[in-house]
Amino acid sequence: MTSFDFSRPLPDSFFSRTNAVVMGVAVGLTLLVGMLTYSWIFRRVTEPTQAPACYGVEMADYLPGRDPLPLRGAKERDGFSPYLRRVGHYADKLQHAETVCTPTSCRSDALKEYRSALFWYLSTRLQDMRDLDRRYGEAGLRVARQNYDTSADRQIEEGLRARYRAGVFRINDFQPNRTGNREAIAILVLKDAAALRPCRKNDVSAD
């Protein structure tokens, strides 16, 4: 077996531009693979197994409202109606995205379209729910759950759980945001829509 003499200096050819480029590329690829592997393992090891109690901790700056609900079909003086489902356009886009990103077949471009449509649908629904809670408290949350208990919303929720079970996405694939989309996805996936509610000031413990 040939041994390497560490006392001898390296030949000048070892320090050639070609070798330097090759070594640089090798080091870069090693670091990239290491970072991607760490990210993949971290997301899956830390994947939540329990749903949070509420969504949107960063916006928990209020206590539930106590305003009386107007009669169904009526509006507040400012024109606000608690009985409107405000995600119609976004729900349509999400249902279209579901046709190209199914639990059994979802290419990267289709997944990107699905996640984008899901983001806007959820952001609108979650903000609407928070507005109703801020004005009317528990009565507002009951109305919100009724507003978003249509066959289309139930299909979206069931589709979300089916894609999660099939491994199309992980909860940790979604970035945290102020609206609380990732927490809401965890609640819908690990529990159900009945457990969905915004975080309030009394949900956040004092530091």
What pLDDT score was predicted for residue 3?
A: 57
Lookup: tokens for 154: 């139930």
Q: Note the pLDDT of residue 42.
A: 44
Q: How confident is the model at residue 75, as a pLDDT?
A: 84
Cα 184 to the chain's mean position, in Å?
7
pLDDT of amino acid 16: 65
Mean pLDDT, 10 residues at a time, the chain of 207 residues: 56 60 61 50 72 96 96 87 93 98 98 98 98 97 97 98 98 95 98 97 74
126: closest CA among 188, 190, 48?
188
Cα separation, 169 vs 53, whole angstroms: 22
pTM > 0.85:
no
